[in-house]
Every structure is written in structure tokens, then in C-alpha cells.
A and B are shown apart, each in its own frame.
Chain A
Amino acid sequence: MSETIDEKLKNYRTAPFDARFPNTNQTRNCYQNYLDYHRCNKALAAKDQDQTPCQWYMRVYKSLCPMSWVSCGTSALIVQS
């Protein structure tokens, strides 16, 4: 990777194009990043490592997911996807 995670987070504008979700329906994109953020946190915490890289997933899911889906917690997102 040419950019470090810190640079990527500093230069973050909005969620970039994700080739896994090329179509109109972005529901899964939101859900996947939400999951990835929590899994990343859990995995890095288990290894006692710095959780800064997980911030990327948080920025992306915050950009994509409606606030009401996130504030209701995981159950709302599971239902939506």
C-alpha cells in the first residue's frame, strides 16, 4: 500500500468505490463495513494491538449507513440486510 492507514484516515473524504458492491443496492456495503469494524476491533483487542486501522471501517460505515440503522444497534442492520 502506498499510503499508510494514518494518511488514508487523514485524507478521508467519503466511502470510496468498492468493487464488491458495484450496483445500485448498497445495503450490503453498509452492513459489511459495520461488521468489519466490529470484527476488526475484536480481533485487534484480542491480540492487544492498536485499533487505529479499524477506524477506516468506521468512517466508511458512518458514511454509508443511515443514522437510524446504526443507532438502533446491530439488530436493525441485520434486519435491513
Chain B
Amino acid sequence: MAHPSQLGFQDAASPLMEELLHFHDHALMIVILISTMVLYIILAMVTAKLTDKLVLDSQEIEIIWTVLPAIILILIALPSLRISYLMDEINDPHLTIKAMGHQWYWSYEYTDYEDLGFDSYMTPTQDLTPGQFRLLEADHRMVTPVESPIRVLISAEDVLHSWAIPALGVKVDAVPGRLNQTTFIISRPGVFFGQCSEICGANHSFMPIVVEAVPLQHFENWSSLMIEEA
């Protein structure tokens, strides 16, 4: 989850987010190198005591500062396109979960076998127990098996919402009347938090998303328990 004074992304919990993280490092390194070089050149030119009024053109440097940026852009574009196509790979999900946005809570439906559905409301600040996270905890978590491809279908029952979990690299709009699909694999067990990412009214900031990834046996036990309780 997020930490105070955090500068970078949250630790990746899915293979896709790992790729995005590495790509971001790669692109940011290029940006920092270029910016440093430009800053140095500006300082060098401003502080130089000599001036040359007779230089009119220079083919060599013109070629260099055309070809080099083109190469750098290609070096950025290739990994970017790779990840873009990776996201659209055809995969074979093991489980389908529906996440429905409401004002102001999420509801989750697991209907592959039985009709299991439940709401997930934010835990109010005054009800938090020590160690819990303010504005992030919810009363019911979306439990998923770890290391299984999962399809999540996102929609909304009233206004626009958006289902986002930074650690998994997922953000999908919840549009009333439309079913948006995303698939991911959670690489490690844990609890991952997200928040509604599309303005949806007074309590837009107070409808978090909590995903809990557990081993398959635990997931099966949890789903049996939830069905019995319903």
C-alpha cells in the first residue's frame, strides 16, 4: 500500500505491474539523462566568456542531434508497445468476479458456481482497530486466489466510478450499462488497496477497494463460508 512521503510506485503485486514499473524506470532514466545534459549545456553556454560570431551551420552536429533523438525515441517506443500488447494478450481466466460501483460502495459478485454477492463499505474512521488504515479499509474484502488468472468485469449501477488498484496496475472505469473487462494475476498473497478513481459525488473519496489474495484452499473455504452466511 501507499506510504507517507512515497516517491515511486507501490511494490508490484502482478507481473504486468512489474513490467510497468521497469518501463517507468527506463523512461525516467532517459528523461533524467537528457534533462541533466540540457541543463549542463545551458549553464556552460551562459557562463562561457568566449563567443564565436562566424559559425553559420554545421552538418555533422545537425545529423547527430537528429539521429540520436530518433534512436532514443525508438528505445522508448519498443518496450512501450511491448507492454501495451502484453496487456491485451488472450488469457484463459480461472475465475470471473464482477465489481459493481454504487454511490458510495462497491459490490462484488462471484457467480461462476453459486450466486454469491456482497457489498463492501468503507470502515468508518471511528471504527478502525489499531493497525488498520484510514479511508482504505472495508468491511468485506474481494478475496481472490493467488497466482490464478482472474477476470474482473466492472460496471456501475448509478454514476461513473472507477475501479483501481495501484499495486496490481489496474484502473478500469465503471460505466452504467457497460461491462468493462480486465484480467490480472496476483503474484503473491497479501492485501491490496485502491480507491475510487472517478468523481462520483459526495463520498467519492470514501469508497475504497480492498483485494485479499490467498491460497486456493483458503479461497474455497472463504467462498463456502460466504455462501452459507448469505
Contact surface of A with B, Cβ cutoff 8 Å: 12-17, 22, 24-27, 29-30, 59, 62-68, 79-80
Contact = CB atoms under 8 A, between A and B. Distances in A.
A1 to B, nearest CB: 18
B141 interface: no
A17 B177 CA distance: 21
Contact of A26 (B109, B112, B153): B153
A63 B96 contact: yes
Contact of B179 (A12, A17, A26, A62): A26
A66 B92 contact: no
A14 B179 contact: no
Contact of A14 (B93, B117, B181): B93
Given A66-B98, A67-B117, A80-B179, 10 more contacts: A12-B112, A14-B112, A24-B172, A26-B179, A26-B180, A29-B179, A62-B115, A64-B96, A66-B179, A79-B177
B5 to A, nearest CB: 35
Contacts of A66: 98, 100, 109, 153, 155, 179
A29 to B, nearest CB: 8
Contacts of B178: 25, 27, 80
Contacts, number: 64
A51 B157 CA distance: 33
B155 A13 contact: no
14 contacts: A14-B93, A14-B94, A15-B93, A15-B151, A17-B92, A25-B179, A26-B181, A29-B179, A30-B179, A64-B96, A64-B153, A66-B155, A66-B179, A80-B178
A24 B95 contact: no
A62 B110 CA distance: 9
B138 to A, nearest CB: 19
Contact of B180 (A12, A25, A68): A25
B111 interface: yes
A80 B177 contact: yes
A32 B153 CA distance: 16
Nearest to A19: B90
Contacts of B94: 13-14
B91 A67 contact: no
A70 to B, nearest CB: 9
A56 B94 CA distance: 16
B109 A67 contact: yes
B109 to A, nearest CB: 6
Contacts of A14: 93-96, 112, 151
A66 B92 CA distance: 20
Contacts of B92: 16-17
A77 to B, nearest CB: 10
Most chain A CB within a 10 A radius of its CB, from B91, B155, B180: B155
A24 B182 CA distance: 7
A27 B61 CA distance: 55
